[in-house]
């Protein structure tokens, strides 16, 4: 049991939509200030959202070198100098390693 604040000031609307649907019975919305929280400058990750990256492999049970290689490439791409994270209107910076969250499939 808890108290739901119905508006997020941190989550971009695209991320908030998913979070609200999965965890909060569509009762969570995103404040307008969060619309500016986007990525720019990456070859294929841009804007805001959650990205699924399929990796083909076969026979891996406890570890997967193919996935490690793909994830490493994504992280390296996000840390390039041209990639900017806009955290509020007109304000941006380069990404840091601690900004990146990677969630593997279970």
- 68-102 pLDDT, tens digit each: 999 999 999 999 999 999 988 889 999 999 988 88
Q: Is residue 104 part of a domain?
A: no
The answer to whether residue 20 is domain-embedded is: yes
Host domain of residue 66: 7-99
36 inside domain:
yes
Side-chain-side CA neighbours of residue 39 (13 Å): 23
How many angstroms separate the Cα of 43 from the Cα of each of 12, 67, 80, 98?
20, 19, 11, 21
**pLDDT at residue 2 is higher than 80:** no
Q: Is residue 64 part of a domain?
A: yes
List, as own/partner pairs, every contact residues 4-10 make where C-beta atoms lie below 8 angstroms and the sequence separation is at least 24, other chains included: 4/28, 7/31, 8/34, 9/33, 9/34, 10/34, 10/37
Residue 38: strand, helix, or coil:
strand
Q: Does the residue 24 lie in any domain?
A: yes
For residue range 14-43, list pLDDT tens digits in order.
Answer: 999 999 999 999 999 999 989 999 999 998
1 falls within a domain: no
In a domain, 31, yes or no: yes
Provide the whole-model pTM: 0.75
Q: How many domains does the chain have?
A: 1
Confirm whether 2 is domain-assigned. Answer: no
């Amino acid at each position: 049991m808890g108290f739901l604040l119905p508006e997020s000031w941190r989550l971009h609307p695209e991320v908030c939509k998913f979070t609200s649907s999965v965890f909060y019975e569509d009762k969570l919305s995103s404040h307008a200030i969060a619309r500016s929280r986007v990525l720019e400058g990456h070859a294929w990750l841009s804007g805001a959202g959650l990205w699924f990256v399929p990796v083909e492999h076969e026979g891996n049970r406890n570890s997967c070198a193919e996935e490690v290689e793909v994830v490493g490439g994504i992280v390296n791409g996000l840390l390039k100098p041209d990639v900017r994270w806009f955290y509020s209107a007109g304000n941006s910076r380069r990404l840091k390693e601690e900004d990146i969250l990677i969630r593997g499939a279970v």
